[in-house]
Structures are given as structure tokens and as C-alpha cells.
């Protein structure tokens, strides 16, 4: 097992690489997330573990909806499901914009590892469907009152944003503190995500992470 708490606390660079190598075991993943660390790497390379500074997070109650997104939500007869088709969601998240079955950026190793977390009750999926077809969704990991967002996909305009909106509503209901968005992006920033310091992020984790407490969504 990798001691991520020691590595995370000693990380001084802004880029945030804390370790290279190791396995994507359930134990390593749970301990990494508890310490503010996440895996991110390309196929055929060692696992790279990150804890960047700053860290992008979204406070569920601060989510922002554009006028166009509000209109889409109001006028679209979509259906929300939770944890009903994790395999479909993660495999669609793994594909690049082409959605070609062989054009992927989430490795098979990661799909296997997060599917195991799902089976254990730590990973979750949000599915947004229209006319019985899943057109958007996201998946992530929850520990205590922290949700670690991993990836999202959309086969129809705004459906990944609808998934994030529904996730925020769900997390507010269960008194979650933050959604960890990992690294900054204009897409997430437009929906209310903000950058905080690594130290403040680790403080939030220390106060709210609990590997033994699984939320039943």
C-alpha cells in the first residue's frame, strides 16, 4: 500500500505529481482519495498520482445554471437514474468526442478498478435519459461528505451539465460539502466551480472524509 497521506502532505510543487507507479488496487484508490490524491495517466504508462495546487471544487449549493441550460432543463422531458448503468456511463466517459469504441482515454485498467469501487458501494453513476436512451451522465467516488467527480459524457447538448445539476441537488440532500473537480476547466468554472488552495482542500477532506461511511443514493 502506498502512503498517500505522507506524499500528499509533503508535495510542494504546483503541478502536483506525488507518486509514479503502484497498482490501482481498491486499497490504494481509497487511501489516495482520502489523502486528496487521484490517478491520471495514459495507456502503456505507469500510474501517475496527482494532488495539484490549486484545486478546483464545486460547492453543491453554488452551482450556476445559464439561461439556456435552465430553458433546456425546463423544456426537456429527461429521466434521472442513479447507479442503474455504471458500466455504460464509465465506458462512454472513456471515449473521446468521437465516441468510437476504440478511441478511448480512460484505460481498461481504470474501468476495472472503478467498477470494483462501484460494486463495493464507493463509486456512483448519474444517468440522464430521454426516450429510454441514456444521452448523458457522470461517475465519481464518494467518501464521507466528499464527492470526487471523475468524468462525464454527453451525447446530446447540455446533457452532461444536466447530470452535474442533478448530482448537485442529490448531494445537497445528503449534506455533502464539495464536489472535487480536480483541475481547472472553463466548462466547470461556468457552472460555479472555483479554485481553492491545496492546503484548504486537504483541510476540508480531513474534516469530512470517512471511508467507512457509504452513502446510499
User: What does the block give as the cell for 165?
Assistant: 445539476
Question: What is the structure's pLDDT at 101?
Answer: 46
* pTM score, whole prediction: 0.93
The band of 125, judged by pLDDT with boundaries at 50, 70 and 90, is very high
User: What does the block give as the cell for 89?
Assistant: 456511463
Per residue in 1-54, pLDDT tens? 888 887 766 666 667 899 999 999 999 999 999 999 999 988 888 999 999 999
State which of 42-51, 74-83, 101-110, 178-187 shows the largest mean pLDDT.
74-83
Question: What is the structure's pLDDT at 97?
Answer: 45
| Residue 90 predicted with pLDDT over 60 | yes
Give dist(CA 39, CA 46) in Å, integer.
Answer: 10
In 3D space, the residue among 133, 137, 148 whose CA is nearest the CA of residue 179 turns out to be: 148
Q: Which residues of 138-173 are buried (b: 16+ CB within 10 A; e: fewer)?
A: bbbbbbbbbbbbbbbbbeeebbbbbbbbbbbebbee
| Residue 69 predicted with pLDDT over 70 | yes
Point out the least confidently predicted range of 16-20, 57-61, 67-71, 195-199. Answer: 16-20
Give dist(CA 123, CA 20) in Å, integer.
Answer: 23
Q: What is the pairing mode between strands 194-196 and 55-58?
A: antiparallel
| Residue 99 predicted with pLDDT over 90 | no
Question: What is the structure's pLDDT at 105?
Answer: 65
Higher pLDDT, 103 or 91: 91
Angle made by CA atoms 85, 147, 213, in degrees to the nearest 5: 90
Question: What is the structure's pLDDT at 12?
Answer: 64
Give me the domains of the chain, ranges plus CATH numbers.
Answer: 4-53 (3.30.70.3550), 56-208 (3.40.630.70)
Give dist(CA 25, CA 19) in Å, integer.
Answer: 15
Give dist(CA 84, CA 177) in Å, integer.
Answer: 24
| Residue 103 predicted with pLDDT over 80 | no
| Residue 115 predicted with pLDDT over 80 | yes
Per residue in 147-201, pLDDT tens? 999 999 999 999 999 999 999 999 999 999 999 999 888 989 999 999 999 999 9
Amino acid at each position: 500500500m502506498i502512503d498517500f497521506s505522507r506524499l500528499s502532505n509533503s508535495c510542494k510543487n504546483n503541478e502536483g505529481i506525488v507518486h509514479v507507479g503502484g497498482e490501482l488496487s481498491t486499497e490504494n484508490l481509497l487511501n489516495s482519495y482520502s489523502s486528496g490524491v487521484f490517478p491520471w495517466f495514459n495507456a502503456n504508462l505507469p500510474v501517475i498520482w496527482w494532488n495539484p495546487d490549486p484545486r478546483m471544487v464545486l460547492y453543491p449549493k453554488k452551482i450556476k445554471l445559464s439561461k439556456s441550460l435552465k430553458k433546456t432543463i425546463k423544456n426537456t422531458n429527461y429521466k434521472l437514474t442513479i447507479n442503474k448503468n455504471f458500466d455504460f456511463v464509465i465506458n462512454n466517459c472513456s471515449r473521446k468526442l468521437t465516441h468510437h469504441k476504440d478511441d478511448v482515454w480512460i484505460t481498461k485498467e481504470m474501468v476495472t478498478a472503478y467498477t470494483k469501487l462501484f460494486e463495493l458501494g464507493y463509486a456512483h453513476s448519474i444517468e440522464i435519459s430521454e426516450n429510454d436512451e441514456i444521452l448523458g451522465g457522470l461517475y465519481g467516488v464518494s467518501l464521507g461528505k466528499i464527492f470526487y467527480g471523475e468524468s462525464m459524457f454527453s451525447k446530446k447538448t447540455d446533457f452532461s451539465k444536466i447530470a452535474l445539476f442533478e448530482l448537485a441537488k442529490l448531494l445537497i440532500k445528503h449534506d455533502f460539502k464539495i464536489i472535487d473537480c480536480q483541475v481547472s476547466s472553463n466548462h466547470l468554472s461556468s457552472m460555479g466551480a472555483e479554485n481553492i488552495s491545496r492546503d484548504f482542500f486537504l483541510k476540508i477532506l480531513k474534516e469530512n472524509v470517512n471511508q467507512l461511511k457509504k452513502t446510499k443514493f
